Structure 1
């Protein structure tokens, strides 16, 4: 499989929702610089593009972005990446024009999580840059006129917390509800569900907190009736669905030791949707399920599509979403809950399909760490029907470390992995302690232990694969991006298990990255207080766990890949790490990519990065890599 095949599949659907009897979603276009277009599919029709180039429906709120589009009253509204303003166009056709003012500084005012408000208004989160530092940010909830007043300054509604989700209007129009949280908490640590009365003139009264706070996270809310809300919260250690009345009484509709919600990295994510008559479509650890309020049960829907994104909708008695299976790549699908039939709704030939025999089917594994704790992982063995390994030879293996670190790997086909498995290199994706999907206790194993638990778990999995005779212990490598880049760097500077590492857009200098260091954005600027410890009390711990402080101890060669426009993990950190390697005799390579933010979106970048990584492993492990340019390693 070629690197171009990886780039081809790096697009795909996002932000799906139902609008009447139409389905809408955003779709990434790697061959167009990674822009997000918008797709509409009418009932019985074919997908049609509704947002031609150069429009790009992305936004920078929290730097990871939030819900970027809304359709109402015959018009499309969307956030445009280039200037972060909200634009609109009639669905019947016509010009595109802005409905928010041009900011005084480029991208200095951003909007996300677009929701319908009263009187034709749009409600959203507004993020405003207030100074030169990445952490100089103010947020509030705003109402944006779409009629005669369009183009004027948005009207501020509330600013209850430093971080907010957009308000949602109650069915009777008398109340608004939203989520809020403050530093140093992250949204999976604790959030508050707020409600306020909406006056006749559209202003908000004082807010009240109905749920959340004090170690309880609320990740999604929806109005159930004028007097009650539905929300996913985890007072028992698992995100379960609750009904919450306006007097603050909360009822768990189906108590289960299972995650029906997830980490709110992107505001506007959706893990449940009402089906009617006391039934709800939910994601049970990312599997589609039905929660029945009367029987207080959660029942998985039997389908081969076993991993659903938190962006799905209900259309009649059907559920529509973005899903994949162990041997099926992501697609927009519709599931009839009556007879269980599944139909694909996006263009089936949009991405060139790969022969199934070249896609390694993930195998669920549970390993035991040195502390006796479980370590969850998915194993992707080498898979190529045209070749077999020489007798007695074990394959190299890559330990893949997901980002976050409050994130997870999923048991789905992965072309990024298949690029290696089709060449005889195995991959294991480790959901180390701290990953989501296994409850709050598993997630909080990483509390003040980042750089310890994640390192220990990845090392334990690698050693176990070698002990089982599945992997060549002399040809193990570790790879990861963002937080996964940190873990990869931390492993290589503290352990002698891996022969090489690929480190993408990483965190390498903890103290400089967080808090007053100013080398990250506002959303995560105090994240490390929970992952490493409070400052200044634990300052030495930040130094001790920083790969940059121990660059001279690298266990082997490293490849660093970095986007030059990254605001989450800016290139400063990788620059300093590479500078520290000069003259040390450690083979390394450093590739940077202009115009790339956090994560790679352009097809040409993805191709270059994948081919460089393969050449890197070939040189370290001693095998040829025909068909890809040779990566120059420096010492």
Structure 2
């Protein structure tokens, strides 16, 4: 029996809801110790960007010239040689140069709980929204995650299993910004000469800085962007004076990186 129907009316098991919620978007993979961490867009939670990790270590290929894979991948502090990077004390949010894993456990753990959403609005299209302070963290415990939350655009620190705590002050709502006036992106973990660990971010300020809200010469709202150091102790969450500006304000700032020797 032949069924004839008009164009566009053929019954299908594919619904709009199924198409909207049927896929998972993965991004920003990196190694933390011997675990793979990444972001995962959860369609059933409105596209929330969760930070996820493997439930166990991955198997890595031995490094060329190494006497054994353990020598190439293991350190007492749980950081791989690739995690350590070219300069001690520097970890980049966008460093994807780690060696590929040969096998990845199927089980995974969601590190960033709902409703937190690791997503930046700097430049509106965003930038890197999270990174990890490798174990041991500044307090001697396991990895510390730092991320920017989409709803309020504040930077937070998160120890797995604990509630995130804010690192940056509240950015007052500004009409021209259509949301929070302070935004953060592209975190880079830096250890200073005195052993203090802090995070350098691209900060986008819609308040106009010290001069307050004002238009630029072209009539657009004045926005300042600069690289700002944020302490990990949370002091800047209540005291903006604890923030330290590293660079002068500029119209466009993105993807800050330290030189291999850490001098510039």
Global fold match (TM > 0.5): yes
Match of 1:70 among 127, 131, 136: 131
Q: State whether structure 2 residue 112 is matched by structure 1 residue 59.
A: no
* Residue number in structure 1 paired with 2:151: 82
* Residue number in structure 1 paired with 2:256: 167
Match of 1:125 among 202, 211, 214: 202
SS in 2 for 1:111: strand
Looking at structure 1, the residues matched to 248 and 39 of structure 2 have their Cα atoms a distance apart, in angstroms, of 29
Q: CA 1:31 to 1:140, structure 2 compared with 1: closer, same or farther past 3 Å?
A: same
Deviations 1:425-477 (A, max 9, x none): xxxxxxxxxxxxxxxxxxxxxxxxxxxxxxxxxxxxxxxxxxxxxxxxxxxxx
Q: CA deviation at 1:80?
A: 0.5
Q: State whether structure 2 residue 208 is matched by structure 1 residue 147.
A: no
SS in 1 for 2:180: coil
Q: CA 1:38 to 1:148, structure 2 compared with 1: closer, same or farther past 3 Å?
A: closer
Residues 76 and 90, structure 1, Cα contact 8 Å, conserved in 2: yes
Looking at structure 1, the residues matched to 28 and 158 of structure 2 have their Cα atoms a distance apart, in angstroms, of 19
Q: CA deviation at 1:16?
A: 2.0
Match of 1:103 among 158, 171, 185: 171
Residues 36 and 56, structure 1, Cα contact 8 Å, conserved in 2: yes
* Structure having the higher Rg: 1
Q: CA deviation at 1:159?
A: 2.7
Q: CA deviation at 1:168?
A: 1.7
Which stretches in structure 1 are left out of the alignment for 5+ residues? 176-635
Q: CA deviation at 1:9?
A: 4.2
Query: RMSD of the alignment, in Å?
Result: 2.2
SS in 2 for 1:169: coil
Residues 172 and 181, structure 2, Cα contact 8 Å, conserved in 1: yes
Which stretches in structure 2 are left out of the alignment for 5+ residues? 1-13, 59-104, 138-142, 174-178
Match of 1:30 among 24, 35, 43: 43
TM value normalised by structure 1:
0.26
Residues 115 and 122, structure 1, Cα contact 8 Å, conserved in 2: yes
Looking at structure 2, the residues matched to 38 and 86 of structure 1 have their Cα atoms a distance apart, in angstroms, of 14
* Structure with greater helix percent: 1
Q: CA 1:29 to 1:132, structure 2 compared with 1: closer, same or farther past 3 Å?
A: farther
* Residue number in structure 2 paired with 1:578: none
Q: CA 1:148 to 1:69, structure 2 compared with 1: closer, same or farther past 3 Å?
A: closer
Looking at structure 2, the residues matched to 10 and 75 of structure 1 have their Cα atoms a distance apart, in angstroms, of 29
How does 1:620-631 map onto structure 2 within 5 Å? Answer: none
Q: CA 1:163 to 1:116, structure 2 compared with 1: closer, same or farther past 3 Å?
A: same
Q: CA 1:49 to 1:99, structure 2 compared with 1: closer, same or farther past 3 Å?
A: same
Q: CA deviation at 1:69?
A: 0.5
Q: CA 1:51 to 1:149, structure 2 compared with 1: closer, same or farther past 3 Å?
A: same
Residues 69 and 77, structure 1, Cα contact 8 Å, conserved in 2: yes
TM value normalised by structure 2:
0.60
Higher relative contact order (CA 8 A, sep 6+): 2
Looking at structure 1, the residues matched to 18 and 260 of structure 2 have their Cα atoms a distance apart, in angstroms, of 46
Residues 224 and 250, structure 2, Cα contact 8 Å, conserved in 1: no
Q: CA deviation at 1:101?
A: 0.8
* Residue number in structure 1 paired with 2:17: 4
Q: CA 1:16 to 1:159, structure 2 compared with 1: closer, same or farther past 3 Å?
A: farther
* Residue number in structure 1 paired with 2:110: 49
Q: CA deviation at 1:62?
A: 1.0
Deviations 1:124-159 (A, max 9, x none): 100011338774311011111003745342211003
Deviations 1:474-496 (A, max 9, x none): xxxxxxxxxxxxxxxxxxxxxxx
* Residue number in structure 1 paired with 2:74: none
Q: CA 1:2 to 1:148, structure 2 compared with 1: closer, same or farther past 3 Å?
A: closer
